[in-house]
Amino acid sequence: MPSEHGAVEIVVCLGSSCFARGNSEILAVLQQYVQGKGLKTPVCLSGCLCQDQCKQGPNLKVGDEFHHNITAAGLRELLQQLDGQNRDAHGQA
Protein backbone atom coordinates (compact mmCIF):
# COMPACT_ATOMS: atom_id res chain seq x y z
CA MET A 1 0.00 0.00 0.00
CA PRO A 2 2.84 2.50 0.55
CA SER A 3 3.82 4.58 -2.45
CA GLU A 4 7.25 4.46 -4.00
CA HIS A 5 8.28 7.11 -1.45
CA GLY A 6 7.12 4.91 1.44
CA ALA A 7 4.16 7.10 2.35
CA VAL A 8 0.65 5.74 2.42
CA GLU A 9 -1.71 7.99 0.51
CA ILE A 10 -5.10 8.53 2.14
CA VAL A 11 -7.58 10.57 0.17
CA VAL A 12 -10.83 11.66 1.81
CA CYS A 13 -13.76 12.65 -0.37
CA LEU A 14 -14.71 16.18 0.61
CA GLY A 15 -17.73 16.37 -1.66
CA SER A 16 -20.85 17.69 0.05
CA SER A 17 -22.62 14.32 0.20
CA CYS A 18 -19.72 12.43 1.74
CA PHE A 19 -19.01 15.30 4.06
CA ALA A 20 -22.64 15.34 5.25
CA ARG A 21 -22.65 11.53 5.57
CA GLY A 22 -19.73 11.58 7.98
CA ASN A 23 -16.46 12.47 6.33
CA SER A 24 -16.21 15.55 8.53
CA GLU A 25 -15.87 13.17 11.50
CA ILE A 26 -13.66 10.81 9.48
CA LEU A 27 -11.29 13.64 8.68
CA ALA A 28 -11.07 14.60 12.36
CA VAL A 29 -10.36 10.97 13.35
CA LEU A 30 -7.66 10.74 10.67
CA GLN A 31 -5.97 13.93 11.75
CA GLN A 32 -6.14 12.95 15.40
CA TYR A 33 -4.74 9.49 14.71
CA VAL A 34 -1.93 10.67 12.48
CA GLN A 35 -0.91 13.59 14.69
CA GLY A 36 -1.64 12.07 18.09
CA LYS A 37 -0.90 8.38 18.01
CA GLY A 38 1.03 8.43 14.81
CA LEU A 39 1.48 5.75 12.23
CA LYS A 40 4.82 4.03 11.83
CA THR A 41 4.73 4.81 8.12
CA PRO A 42 4.46 8.35 6.78
CA VAL A 43 0.97 9.23 5.65
CA CYS A 44 0.08 11.61 2.86
CA LEU A 45 -3.37 12.91 3.71
CA SER A 46 -5.37 14.77 1.10
CA GLY A 47 -8.89 15.51 -0.02
CA CYS A 48 -10.69 15.15 -3.32
CA LEU A 49 -13.86 16.34 -4.93
CA CYS A 50 -16.92 14.14 -5.46
CA GLN A 51 -16.06 10.77 -6.98
CA ASP A 52 -19.61 10.08 -8.23
CA GLN A 53 -20.08 7.36 -5.64
CA CYS A 54 -22.15 9.42 -3.23
CA LYS A 55 -24.68 6.68 -2.44
CA GLN A 56 -21.89 4.55 -1.00
CA GLY A 57 -20.43 7.38 1.03
CA PRO A 58 -18.72 8.46 3.03
CA ASN A 59 -15.85 7.36 0.83
CA LEU A 60 -12.12 7.42 1.18
CA LYS A 61 -9.22 5.84 -0.60
CA VAL A 62 -6.19 4.23 1.00
CA GLY A 63 -3.51 3.65 -1.58
CA ASP A 64 -5.36 2.24 -4.60
CA GLU A 65 -8.22 0.83 -2.56
CA PHE A 66 -11.60 2.57 -2.19
CA HIS A 67 -13.45 2.23 1.10
CA HIS A 68 -17.17 2.94 1.17
CA ASN A 69 -19.61 3.61 4.01
CA ILE A 70 -16.64 4.24 6.23
CA THR A 71 -17.31 4.82 9.91
CA ALA A 72 -15.03 6.21 12.60
CA ALA A 73 -14.73 2.73 14.13
CA GLY A 74 -14.04 1.17 10.73
CA LEU A 75 -11.40 3.77 10.02
CA ARG A 76 -9.63 3.13 13.33
CA GLU A 77 -9.59 -0.57 12.51
CA LEU A 78 -8.23 0.16 9.05
CA LEU A 79 -5.48 2.38 10.46
CA GLN A 80 -4.51 -0.27 13.00
CA GLN A 81 -4.29 -2.88 10.24
CA LEU A 82 -2.23 -0.52 8.14
CA ASP A 83 0.09 0.16 11.05
CA GLY A 84 0.44 -3.56 11.75
CA GLN A 85 1.23 -4.35 8.12
CA ASN A 86 3.88 -1.69 7.97
CA ARG A 87 5.43 -2.80 11.24
CA ASP A 88 5.60 -6.36 9.89
CA ALA A 89 7.07 -5.10 6.63
CA HIS A 90 9.78 -3.27 8.53
CA GLY A 91 10.49 -6.14 10.91
CA GLN A 92 9.30 -4.35 14.01
CA ALA A 93 7.14 -5.92 16.72
Q: Distance (Å, rounded) from C-alpha 26 to C-alpha 91?
A: 30
Sequence-distant (6+) residues with CB within 8 A of 32 are none
Q: Tell me which stretch binds ligand FES (CB under 6 A): 2-10, 30-38, 44-52, 65-73.
A: 44-52
| Residue 41 or 51 with smaller CB distance to ligand FES | 51
Footprint (CB under 6 A) of ligand FES, residues 60-89: none
Contacts with ligand FES by CB under 6 A lie at 13, 15, 17-18, 50-54, 57, 59
